[in-house]
Structure 1
Amino acid sequence: MTRAAVMGAGSWGTTLAKVLADAGTEVTVWARRPEVAEALATDHRNPYYMPGVQLPPIAATNDHERALAGADIVVLAVPSQSLRANLSAWAPDIGGDATLLSVAKGIENGTLLRMSEVIAEVSGADPARIAVLSGPNLAGELAAGQPAATVIGCIDAQRAAAVQQACVTSYFRPYTNTDVTGCEIGGACKNVIALACGIASGMGFGDNSIAALMTRGLAEIIRLGVALGAEPATLAGLAGVGDLIATCTSPLSRNRSFGVALGSGGSMQVAQEATHGQIAEGVKSCSSVRALADAHGVEMPLTEAVHQVCHEGLAVQSALEKLLGRRIKPE
């Protein structure tokens, strides 16, 4: 039987633990807080992040060595900006042939590395051992067993297929793809565009406006992806358009909800409260995505506007005016 260690017990880590267990994979969850590990192991619930969701029998611990022992797949389910520090502590205890599966979506601040690149740098693992999971996978819906699909990206197609088998269920359909860059760029950038869409919704704008922002946001994502070597087809699929649609339109999306709070006149603190203290990845990623685009000479006006709202004090009305006031040109 395949054994998976899920490193992180937030809403996404908890949900993936359920998916893996439902697929017949043996699962151990590592939780930073002992009380979360206790609730998972004893009651098979996570009242702190996924209240009301009954989990299948899984093991849980706040001892990372115990969680990692014998794991064939190590699911890295911590926020993107804390991945490096956590993995540095875990790396010595990860098996030499274990697959490292990244489920965080972001670009590391400072280094501007994608998550797979951070993993390779910190762990020393061959890139062929590193996989990423990206798609329209809102945790609440997936935990409820609603049908969903995703992409497992890995340059080693056989390893991607092994991860695929470890998490396929009647309600969760994973596809494989060797374009890791495309999967990661789609996942990182869609959070930023979802903030923009949330801001517009909070200001009272309707579906026409949101559709325009999503479409122009996709154009930004594709420009950056192609500059980094991604395949446009990847960004037209589940890891690109699919994830973008779900994150930009669903009230379950933390990034959209954060944007709605800002667009409604709330402060950054109010917006954080609107997402129940959970991290909206796009708030941090907008800065690193913007810097990555600048480094490659890629124009990303929506990303620039979101960065200015979140980190430079630009008023949301001024940000929207900047976007709507851009020069007209062929599409």
Structure 2
Amino acid sequence: MLNKIALLGAGSWGTSLSMVLEENGHEVRLWSHSQEQVDEINQFHTNKHYLPEVVLSKNIKAFTDLTEVLDSVDAVLFVVPTKAIREVAKKVEATLKKSVIIIHASKGLEQETHKRISVVLEEEISADKRKAVVVLSGPSHAEEVAVKDLTTITAASPNLESATFVQQLFMNDYFRVYTNKDIIGVELGAALKNIIALGAGALHGLGYGDNAKAALMTRGLAEISRLGVAFGANPLTFIGLSGVGDLIVTCTSVHSRNWQAGNFLGKGMTVKETLAHMDMVAEGITTTKAVYELAKERGIEMPITAAIYDVLYNHANVKEAVDSLMKRVGKSES
């Protein structure tokens, strides 16, 4: 069955997901707040700022008018930065005329409230306009999905029927989707791995080798699991695609924005200089603040997150932050 999908957010990930949906035969309406970007997509079938080497199908239509995008759709997919989720969701609530599946493929926690994205969406989009909220997440670089590299991710929702609907929307011979009922674990794994990716990039920038990076990723996963379980996640989620899988891809690839940001910091750039060098959002920087505050509120030990927070927000020296982690009192691994 073919469906009409409103895809909100025409960055690299949103554009790549629109290509998958269009190839699967669905009608894709791509929304952006930028008229210049919309004109480029509709006239030249490119989105060069985000995916410079990619040519889009002529069937992918872009809009700035949310009313046009949401008219008679079967699902709404949010792929905007975390900081914009609540604002865009309010506009969707005011415009949407019927109940649809709400999907999001963003990775972060809301600042100040520390809420997961699905919670924000449920707060802003009334129950009579959403059949369910489904998270689409896992180890995936937009640049590789756009060229049909093999990718496997997760569609997560307590409503398994809706998760299966999203699975069927996206599944094809290069984009495989598994379902998962643990929306808490999938969202937290997606958000928190960006913090560890900042650290992995910083280690590279400092010149450390594979031993250090393996240690960071392994102990980083322990921190992610510790916080996730405290909030009701299934610990097995964190050894799956949206846990260790997403952690591997984000901590080891130059495609990763968060790895890039960490690498700049490791090479001696300030946070301000790092942000000036980034042409896309590195969600890990704001997520670090939210998770650090959340862990303090709940009394959850997260030394790696705390060290990265000190670098980002207290101007700590990166090398000294690494040294402080290595000099912590010896403990049992488990």
TM-score range, shorter-chain basis? over 0.9
Once residues 38 and 125 of structure 1 are traced to their aligned partners in structure 2, the CA distance between those partners, rounded to angstroms, is: 34
Deviation at 1:94, TM superposition (A): 2.4
Once residues 255 and 82 of structure 1 are traced to their aligned partners in structure 2, the CA distance between those partners, rounded to angstroms, is: 19
Q: Partner of 1:324 in structure 2?
A: 326
Q: Partner of 1:30 in structure 2?
A: 31
Amino acid at match of 2:104: S
Q: Partner of 2:105 in structure 1?
A: 103
Alpha-carbon displacement from aligned partner over 1:260-281 (angstroms, at most 9, x marks no partner): 0000011223322443x21100
Q: Partner of 2:80 in structure 1?
A: 78
Is residue 265 of structure 2 the alignment partner of residue 246 of structure 1? no
Is residue 147 of structure 2 the alignment partner of residue 144 of structure 1? yes
Alpha-carbon displacement from aligned partner over 1:53-81 (angstroms, at most 9, x marks no partner): 11222111111111111111111011011
Amino acid at match of 2:118: S
From 52, 59, 62, the equivalent of 1:60 is 62
Amino acid at match of 2:103: L
From 223, 227, 231, the equivalent of 1:220 is 223
From 174, 178, 188, the equivalent of 2:177 is 174
Once residues 269 and 22 of structure 1 are traced to their aligned partners in structure 2, the CA distance between those partners, rounded to angstroms, is: 40
Amino acid at match of 1:181: I
The percent identity for this pair of structures is: 40
Deviation at 1:135, TM superposition (A): 0.2
Contact 1:119 1:125 in 2 (8 A): no
Q: Partner of 2:19 in structure 1?
A: 18
Once residues 227 and 95 of structure 1 are traced to their aligned partners in structure 2, the CA distance between those partners, rounded to angstroms, is: 37
SS in 1 for 2:185: helix
Once residues 145 and 206 of structure 2 are traced to their aligned partners in structure 1, the CA distance between those partners, rounded to angstroms, is: 29
Alpha-carbon displacement from aligned partner over 1:112-161 (angstroms, at most 9, x marks no partner): 10000000111123786101011001111111110000000011111111
SS in 2 for 1:28: strand
Structure 1 runs of 4+ off > 4 angstroms? none
Contact 2:254 2:260 in 1 (8 A): yes
Q: Partner of 2:125 in structure 1?
A: 123
Deviation at 1:19, TM superposition (A): 1.1
Contact 2:99 2:131 in 1 (8 A): no
Alpha-carbon displacement from aligned partner over 1:277-314 (angstroms, at most 9, x marks no partner): 21100000001011122222211111111111111111
Once residues 134 and 297 of structure 2 are traced to their aligned partners in structure 1, the CA distance between those partners, rounded to angstroms, is: 25
Contact 1:36 1:48 in 2 (8 A): no
Once residues 69 and 292 of structure 1 are traced to their aligned partners in structure 2, the CA distance between those partners, rounded to angstroms, is: 38
Deviation at 1:95, TM superposition (A): 4.2
Alpha-carbon displacement from aligned partner over 1:82-110 (angstroms, at most 9, x marks no partner): 21112112222224321111111111111
RMSD: 1.3
Q: Partner of 2:285 in structure 1?
A: 283
Deviation at 1:189, TM superposition (A): 0.2
Is residue 136 of structure 2 the alignment partner of residue 133 of structure 1? yes
Q: Which runs of 5+ in 1 are unaligned?
A: none
Q: Partner of 1:201 in structure 2?
A: 204
Contact 1:154 1:180 in 2 (8 A): yes
Q: Which moved more, 1:52-61 or 1:147-156?
A: 52-61
Output the TM-score relative to the length of structure 1: 0.97
Alignment length (residue pairs): 330
Amino acid at match of 2:45: H
Once residues 127 and 226 of structure 2 are traced to their aligned partners in structure 1, the CA distance between those partners, rounded to angstroms, is: 29
